[in-house]
Amino acid sequence: MIISFVSIKGGVGKTTLAVETASSLANHYGKKVLLIDANFSAPNVSLNLGIKPEGTLHDLLSGKIRDLANVTYESHGFDFVPASMEYKDPIYFLKLRDAIEKVKKKYDFILIDSSPNPQELLPVIAASEKVFVVTTPDLPTMFTSARAAKIALMRKTPVEGIIMNKIRHPDYEYSLDEVEKHFGIPVVAKIRDDKGIIESLFYHKPHTVYDQDSKISSEIKRFAGSLAGNPEKISWFMKNFGKMGKEQVNRELMRKELYGL
C-alpha cells in the first residue's frame, strides 16, 4: 500500500507523522516499510533520524542513480529514502511513480512525506494509492490543507482521512466535528501537542521508539494498527461504561474498507 501524508502548509507535522507511522508499522506490527522523503525543497526525514546520506532521491530523479535501492537506508526497523536539502541539477519529479512501482512488491507499506508546495505535491499524489491530510485545528491551516485534499480528489486519489495534529487547547481550536464538516472527510486520529516529540527529535529517535507508552505514541499506534488491519482494541471499561471516540469509529470503518471486511 502506497500512502502519502499531505498538506499545503509547513509546520503541521507531516514529517513527524510519516516517521512515527513507519516506525509503528515496523516495530509494533512487524510490517516491511519504506519511507520516502519527497519534500523536494525542504526535506527533513534524514535530519529527524540523525543520518547524513551520501545518495538521495534527488540523485535518482536526476538520473545520476538508476535504482531506488542505491539510495535506501535503514533506521529503527524501517527503510527510508532521503532527499537533498541543496541540489542544483534538474530533477524529473514524474520519475517518482515509476521508481516506487519497481520496489513496491518488496514492502507491505510505502509511506511518502510530501512538500507543502502544490507543484511538488502533484507527483507525490500521482504516485500514491491513498492520501491522509494532516492539519492543525485552526482555520488558516484547515483552509490550506483543504486545498491539498482537493488536489488529491481532482487526481482521483482517495483521501482516506484527516489527521488532527498538534492539538493544544481544544477550547480555542476547532472540534473534530467542525474539522470533518470543513473537509467533508472523516478524522481518523487526534494527536495532542507534546514536548516529548522535541525530546525524541533531540536523540534522533522516533517517539514511538523513544517513549512507547506516551499518549502520542498510543494514538499513532492505534492509527498504524488500523492501517495494518488490526481491529481497534477497546478496554473492558470502555465497552461497558464508556463511549468510543468518533475518530476510533472512523478508524475501524477505514480498516474494514481497506481490507474489504
pLDDT in tens, 193-224: 988 899 999 999 999 999 999 999 999 999 99
15-24, 60-69, 237-246: which has the minimum mean pLDDT?
237-246
Check whether 241 has a pLDDT greater than 80: no
Whose grid coordinates read 472540534? 175
Check whether 244 has a pLDDT greater than 80: no
Question: For residue 29, with 0-12 CB atoms within 10 Å meaning exposed, 13-18 middle and 19 or more buried, which class applies?
Answer: middle
User: What is the predicted pLDDT for the residue at 91?
Assistant: 87
**Mean pLDDT, rounded, for 122-136:** 95
**Mean pLDDT, rounded, for 49-55:** 91
Domain boundaries, position 216: 2-258
CATH code, domain with 59: 3.40.50.300
Query: pTM of this prediction?
Result: 0.93
Grid cell in block for residue 33: 516499510
Check whether 19 has a pLDDT greater than 70: yes
At 36 the three-state DSSP class reads: strand
Check whether 239 has a pLDDT greater than 70: no
Check whether 8 has a pLDDT greater than 60: yes
The tally of domains found in the chain comes to: 1
- The identity of residue 17, as a single letter, is L
